[in-house]
Structure 1
Amino acid sequence: MKTILETLDSGTQWLEKKGVDDARRNMQLLLCHQLDCSKIQLYTRFDEPMSEESLIPLRGMLKRRGNREPLQHILGTVEFYMRDFYTDSRALIPRPETEELCEIVLKQLSPVAPSKILDMGTGSGVIGITLALEYGSQSKVSCVDISEDALELAQKNITSNGAENCAVQRSNLFEGLDSKYDLIVANLPYVPEVDRSSLAAELTYDPDIALYSGKDGLDIIREFIQKCQSSLEAGGTIALEIGIHQNVEVEKLLANEGFSDIKTFPDLSGIYRFPTARWSGN
């Protein structure tokens, strides 16, 4: 019977052969999930034997990961801004860069709680829920998406995180929205269609509607920028997440539509990823 350490080592080697990046960390997290323990607790149990009862479901999870199904889908949750969120194939898996977007909004763009916030293209709801909980009850957040499946997942996360000042609504961008907002945050699809074949295998498990947006990746963002003014209060702000090398074009789009105070913040890798702007109301 294999020990936990032997299982960790053999599983890591198998994932490496399957081309999984950071294979040992993946195997550690699968073991922690199966054994219901923390990583530190796992280290203290290395000499314990693995029971067949535990190995059977672990083999199933390992096979799924070897087929490049995202680790987050297998575990069913992901940590985002120090909270746990459900995640699955109904919406884009929350990325660390999007945590940076929330940080910019909370610490630099709008340190004082806005009254009404719109999370456009909410997906699993992580941005809207994070802002709702960080700002508190003085802010009301609308989590909007075109996908009913994504909204079901967002509602599940709203409930599990107790975000009572958050509500979901289905809309194709701003169709049917009759409110004006002080802050609109959006992580919309921005991957060019031409990049489809070059993306990591794990991204094939994300819904296409959450990833791709025309030849240069900016079709939906263009439409968003052209239409969002009617949903912004005078002096209201927007914050976006975009892809690599898209900031110059997005800044031009914002300027052409009459936005001011346009600035794009870099992510931790130095990529200019987060355009922000203010709407004067003119």
Structure 2
Amino acid sequence: MLTVLEVVQRSSAFLEGKGVESPRLNAEWLIAAALGMDRMKLYMQFDRPLKEAELAEMRSMVARRAKREPLQYVIGTAPFHELDLKVDSRALIPRPETEQLVELAIDSLGENDVPYRIVDLGTGSGAIALALAFALPRAELFAVDASRDALELAQENALRCGLQNRVTYVLSDWFSDFDPEGPFDLIISNPPYLTDEEMKTAEPEVRDFEPLSALRADREGLSDLEQIVRGAFERLKPGGILWLETGIGHRSALLDLCSEVGYSDCLGCDDWSGRPRFIKATR
């Protein structure tokens, strides 16, 4: 019978041959998930012999990863800002940069125990809206997406995280079908912003598996960002804040547009790796 360690070693070598980055780490995550345990606990069971049913599940998961399906889709979950979210092909996988966007937004609001009104545009898996609901217990949150499938996933995550009564979900292409009464303290979005050229050079995990509509935008990646900048202005309270995650080549054009529209205190912020990734604009 094969042991856990032997399967990890064989799976790692197989994934490495398929061009998977960090193959040993991927193998450990997959084997742990197949056994229903945390990856760190795997190290204490390396000598454990595996049953055929367990091996069959592992083979299936490793085969999916070898085809470059994202690890998070194969496992079915991803951590995000103190939450554990369900993820699948209905929406983008939440990324560390977007966690930073959430932290920047929370810091910019000031106090946490305030009944802020907040909109998450293009909510996808619900990551941003749910993280804000968790961090801001009195906030009123709206999660907007043009994809009915993505909204269903977001609602599943709300239930998973015990936040099902904290967020209102709206099917809308940006602001087209979203017109609630009263202005907002914060509008936040991680919209599509990749260019056609960036899509061509993206890793297979992104290019072949994540939803294209949530990744790519026209006008060199700017079209959706520009719509949000213009549409958010009249929906923000005086002093209300717009936070955007953007492409690394978009800062100058977006700051110019924010000033043109009438925002004040327009600034760009770098992500943790030093890339120009975020825009903040205040009405």
Superposition deviation, residue 160 in structure 1: 1.2
| 1:234 corresponding residue in structure 2 | 238
Residues 115-143 of structure 1: CA distance to partner in whole angstroms, max 9, x if unpaired?
2000001111100110011000x210000
CA-to-aligned-CA distance 1:47-80 (integer Å, 9 cap, x gap): 1112211001110111100000011111111110
Match of 1:177 in 2: 178
Aligned residue number for residue 61 of structure 1: 61
State the distance in 2 between where 1:157 and 1:124 align.
7
1:33 aligns with 2:27: no
What residue in structure 2 maps to residue 110 of structure 1? 109
Structure 1 position 132 matched with structure 2 position 103:
no
Match of 1:245 in 2: 249
After TM superposition, the structure 1 = structure 2 runs for residues 1-282 of structure 1, keeping only pairs within 5 Å, are 1-107=1-107, 109-112=108-111, 113=114, 115-136=116-137, 138-163=138-163, 164-179=165-180, 180-203=183-206, 204-279=208-283
Give the CA RMSD over aligned residues: 1.1
CA deviations 1:198-255 (Å, max 9, x no partner) are 1100012111110000141011111111221221112110100011121111111111
Pairwise CA distance, 1:39 = 2.2
Is the alpha carbon distance of 1:69 and 1:4 closer, same or farther for their aligned partners in structure 2, counting shifts above 3 Å? Answer: same
How many residues matched?
A: 277
Q: What residue identity is the alignment partner of 1:119?
A: D
| Distance in 2 between residues matched to 1:244 and 1:225, nearest whole Å | 17
Relative to structure 2, which stretch is displaced further, 86-95 or 222-231?
222-231
Residues 191, 217 of structure 1: 8 Å contact kept: yes
Structure 2 distance, partners of 1:233, 1:171, is 21
The DSSP-based 3-state class of the residue aligned with 1:216 is: helix
Conserved? CA contact 2:82–2:131, under 8 Å: no
Any unmatched runs of 5+ in structure 2?
Answer: none
Contact 1:190–1:212 (CA under 8 A) maintained in structure 2: yes
Tell me the TM-score normalised to structure 2 length.
Answer: 0.95
List per-residue Cα deviations over 1:21-47 (Å, max 9, x = no partner): 011111111111111122222101111
> Are 1:146 and 1:173, in contact at CA under 8 Å, matched by a contact in 2?
yes
Distance, in Å, in 2 between the alignment partners of 1:213 and 1:272 is 18
Residues 175-197 of structure 1 show CA distances to partners (whole Å, capped at 9, x for unaligned) of 23223211000000000122222
> Aligned partners of 2:115 and 2:24: how far apart in 1?
43
State the shift of 1:114 in Å: 5.2
Compute the displacement of 1:20 (Å).
0.4
**Partner Cα separation in structure 2 for residue 68 and residue 247 of structure 1:** 32
SS in 1 for 2:2: coil
- Counterparts of 1:56 and 1:195 in 2: how far apart (Å)? 37
- Please say if residues 189 and 245 of structure 2, whose CA atoms lie closer than 8 Å, have aligned partners that are also in contact: yes
For residue 273 of structure 1, what is the amino acid of its counterpart?
Answer: R
Percent of aligned pairs with the same amino acid:
37
TM-score by length of 1: 0.95
- 8 Å CA contact 1:194–1:215 kept in 2: the answer is no
CA–CA separation in structure 1 for the residues paired with 2:261 and 2:212: 28
Give the deviation of 1:157 after TM superposition: 0.8
Which stretches in structure 1 are left out of the alignment for 5+ residues? none
